[in-house]
A = this chain, B = another copy of it.
Amino acid sequence: MTTDTPEPTIEDRRDTTPEELDVLMERAAAAAPLLAALAPAERARLLRAVAEALDAAADELVPIAQAEAHYPEARCRGELGRTTFQLRLFADVLEEGSHLEAMIDPADPDWGTPRPDVRRLLVPLGPVVVFGASNFPFAFATAGGDTASALAAGCPVIVKAHPGHLRLARRTTEIVIDALDAAGAPEGVFGLVEGVEVGRLAVLHPLTRAVGFTGSIPGGRALFDLAVSRPDPIPFYGELGSVNPVFVTRAAMEARGGDILSGYADSATLGAGQFCTKPGVVFVPEDAALDALVTDFAGRTAAPLLNERVADGFARGLDTLAGHPATKVLVQGAEGEDGAWSPSLLRTDLDSLLEHSETLLEECFGPCTLVVTYADERRLLEAAGVLHGQLTVTVHGEEDDAIAPALLALGASLAGRVVWNGWPTGVAVTHAMTHGGPYPATTAPLHTSVGTTAIQRFLRPVTYQSVPQSLLPEALRDDNPLGVPRRVDGAAPTV
């Protein structure tokens, strides 16, 4: 933490008024058709301009993030790098064009139903409201994944700043708007609002067409309920909670138990356990030697949590777990100065977990994780009955493990990502990534908030029937001036 950038105080806070929100939403709605009409290469240029401006401001932004989120400098620099990489990757995707899912079915008199010429592509939804996350002040906040994917889709974005990093949100917004202006973006494509109540109003605003959110289950569910209660319900992409179970088979533990448990300790305590992909539960054989793991956890130092609210929630969650008659505390983390916590390690067994799953499988956001011992490996599959939707399921096994296929299938049935002999923290920003899953991992199981297909959340299909060449969108014209991959008559796409 730096000392020359003071923490924000309550005086810094100023709630955006409903009237100010109206102005921002109206400007965003006016900008929407202009942004949508830009050629993909033009929108790519805008994203790259934002990335360059943020990279150039790293020395200014990183200290603010350190002060507000209490992360070390390296973490903040790394996260900013991830954020600008993401913007540039989405720019590349725009130029490639597969995200438009363009299709052409020429008229066919011999088809099974009357078939005129029909051509389909995806178009932007319109203004998107993005709620910044507490734990990623760059990558899941103002100019983070939701914003990058919505802008790439061609949707203006209004960000609701997370109260934990208001100053970073404000300064990032200034830089983003300046970069967009300088690059010639339509006015009003980006804005920032602050305050709890204005966040609710933004979800309910008639001009809002979709919402991106990363946060807690109660907070996310409350906003989801608002989004679907509107006279015109809108898509709400909420990434809420996950305990990210890890299954270690007997064979894997025998082969390389030490490495597995030390990798687990690293993953579970990364960022003081404040990752949505933190492995919160690990299943190990009951005879596994846990001494080294206990020593490892006990030797780890305290790290500050994001803010008071996170610290309070963590303390409550840890109390509940540690005080539960079915758990045993292996390492009791301690609260240090400035709300710092050293990591806690708890233990229970499979039968207890199955019996008390609602309490023991509640996400505890922070440096705390639960070891679950099992006697009969085959009974691990019973966990499927008590685990809710997850962002990730991890399996540590041997390739010829009899139980491995069933555990991977269990993972695919519960989660958006199945990890083999690795760790769920550290989500690669790439094409094939899924950061999502059934509720409560997300409120929209068909989608991902990380990776290039995150763009698809903010696009909807439109079919043009019998429209002449000169009036078709460029991506659908016979001569394909944009060079977009297109499925013709249901065949695999060609350019």
> What residues make up the interface of A, taking CB atoms closer than 8 Å to B?
33, 81-82, 85-86, 88-89, 92-93, 96, 98, 101, 103-105, 111-116, 118-120, 123, 125, 224-225, 228, 232-235, 388-389, 399, 404-405, 408-409, 412-413, 415-422, 426-434, 436, 438-440, 443-448, 451-453, 456-457, 459-468, 470-471, 485, 487, 489-495
Known A89-B112, A417-B463, A446-B235; contact A489-B431, beta-carbon cutoff 8 A:
yes
CA distance A66 to B44 in the complex (A): 56
In the bound complex, do residue A118 and residue B428 qualify as a contact, i.e. CB atoms below 8 Å apart? yes
- Partner pick for A492 among B81, B98, B438, CB 8 A cutoff: B98
Known contacts A235-B445, A445-B125, A462-B434; A111/B492 CB under 8 A:
no
8 contacts between A and B (CB under 8 A): A96-B490, A113-B428, A115-B430, A118-B430, A235-B446, A408-B467, A431-B490, A492-B495
- For A419, the closest partner residue in chain B by CB is B465
Whole-angstrom distance between the alpha carbons of A92 and B112 in the complex? Answer: 13
Each complex incorporates copies of this chain amounting to 2
A232, A428, A433: most-surrounded residue (chain B CB, <10 A): A428
Closest partner residue, chain B, to A123 (CB atom):
B412
**What is the distance, in angstroms, from A321's C-beta to the closest C-beta of chain B?**
22
A412's nearest neighbour on chain B, judged by CB, is B462
Known interface pairs A118-B433, A428-B113, A432-B118. Does A422 touch B462 (Cβ–Cβ under 8 Å)? no
Shortest distance between the CB of A430 and any CB in chain B (Å): 5
User: Which residues of B have CB within 8 Å of A436?
Assistant: 460-461
Q: A103-B431, A120-B433, A438-B232 are in contact. Are A446 and B459 (CB under 8 A)?
A: yes
A440 proximity list for chain B (CB < 8 A): 232
A416–B121 alpha-carbon span in the complex (Å): 10
Chain B positions within 8 Å of A490 at CB level: 92-93, 96, 98, 430-431, 452
With both beta carbons as reference points, the residue of chain B lying nearest to A453 in the complex is identified as B461
Residue pair A105, B430 in contact (C-beta under 8 Å)? yes
Given the complex, which residues of B lie within 8 Å of A399, measured CB to CB? 468, 470-471
Residues of B within 8 A of A405 (CB): 471
* Complexed CA–CA distance, A445 and B119 (Å): 18
- Write out the residue numbers on chain B whose beta carbons fall within 8 Å of the beta carbon of A404: 471
Q: With A420-B465, A494-B492 as known contacts, state yes or no: A82 contacts B224, CB within 8 Å.
A: no
| Distance in angstroms between the alpha carbons of A33 and B410 in the assembled complex | 10
Shortest A441–chain B CB gap in Å is 10
Measured between beta carbons, the chain B residues less than 8 angstroms from A461 are 416, 434, 436, 446-448, 453
Cα separation A98 to B485 with both chains bound (whole Å): 13
Knowing A112-B81, A461-B453 are in contact, say whether A420-B471 is a contact too (CB < 8 A): yes
Return chain B residues, CB-CB under 8 Å to A88. 112
Q: Which residues of B sit under 8 angstroms from A430, Cβ to Cβ?
A: 105, 111, 113, 115, 118, 490
Whether B446 contacts A33 by the Cβ 8 Å rule is no
Q: Which B residues are in CB contact (< 8 Å) with A120?
A: 431-434, 453
Chain B residues within an 8 Å CB radius of A485: 492-493
